Amino acid sequence: MNLKIAIVDDNRRNRYSLAEQLRISAGIAVILQAGDGGDYLEQMKVLEPEQYPDVVLMDIEMPGMNGIDTVRNSKTLYPSVKYLMLTVFDDDDKIFEAIRAGANGYLLKDEKPMAIIECIQQLAELDAAPMSPSIARKTLALLSQATLVTSVDKPASVQLLSERELEVLKQMAIGKDYKQIAATLFLSTHTIRKHIANIYEKLHVTSKIQAVNIAQKNNWV
């Protein structure tokens, strides 16, 4: 079954170009395109729940309702929809605001099409929190300075995780995606996906950010 994707960007050329790039994947269907947050929310109103996009690629700086405000409003209206920020901005304030608003991932627009497709699949299938490497490093720095509203403070014990799961978690903490982790640990990507799913289940979290935050608080990484 195809993953349903929406693209929200005020630049029409960017929207169409990205839509064409995503169509190289047989498992992805672009079902909605919008020029700003208000346009996106209006289009969502006429959809039935089963028609909602699985993942929305959301620009940040747009006229009218910007991407961060759109995500903040949408999370209440459409909690099942996941939001992947796709933007040229990598400054700390934008990252922090987007995560607090409920963004599920954060990529820079210069990522290659296949990398964006892989991140969409990670987000939809694993409920991961895909990020460009530079964004992941900045996010870890933010986490070391402040506790995010989205972080989970449930007690956790390192004994919950196997030695291999801890290795995977350490690789996640330095910003590697599942393919890079697989190459580093000489394992298949399928095995890494399973390890990440087990880590989330054992730590009672739903994202990479939350898992890494717990690991840092407990000095596992």
Residue 90: both structure tokens together = 């990598």
CATH topology of domain 3-142: Rossmann fold (3.40.50)
Cα angle: 153, vertex 159, 161; to 5 degrees: 80
For residue 58, give the H/E element and its range.
Answer: strand 55-58
Contacts with 142 (C-beta within 8 Å, 6 or more apart), sequence order: 92, 95, 96, 148
Tens-binned pLDDT, residue by residue, of the chain (221 aa): 589 999 999 999 999 999 998 888 878 999 999 999 999 999 999 999 999 999 999 999 898 899 999 999 998 899 889 999 988 866 667 777 888 888 888 888 888 888 888 889 888 887 777 777 666 666 666 555 544 434 444 444 445 788 899 999 999 888 888 889 999 999 998 899 889 888 888 887 777 888 888 888 888 87
- In our burial notation (b when 16+ CB lie closer than 10 A, e otherwise), range 12-21 reads eeebeebeeb
Q: What is the per-residue pLDDT for 155?
A: 43
**189-203 and 178-185 helices, crossing angle to 10°:** 110
Q: Where are the domains of the chain?
A: 3-142, 151-217
Type of residue at 119? C
Q: What is the per-residue pLDDT for 150?
A: 41
Cα angle: 65, vertex 59, 9; to 5 degrees: 80
CATH of domain 151-217: 1.10.10.10
Q: What is the per-residue pLDDT for 57?
A: 96
Q: What is the per-residue pLDDT for 19?
A: 93
* pTM of structure: 0.63
C-alpha distances out from residue 140 to 2, 91, 201, Å: 33, 13, 21
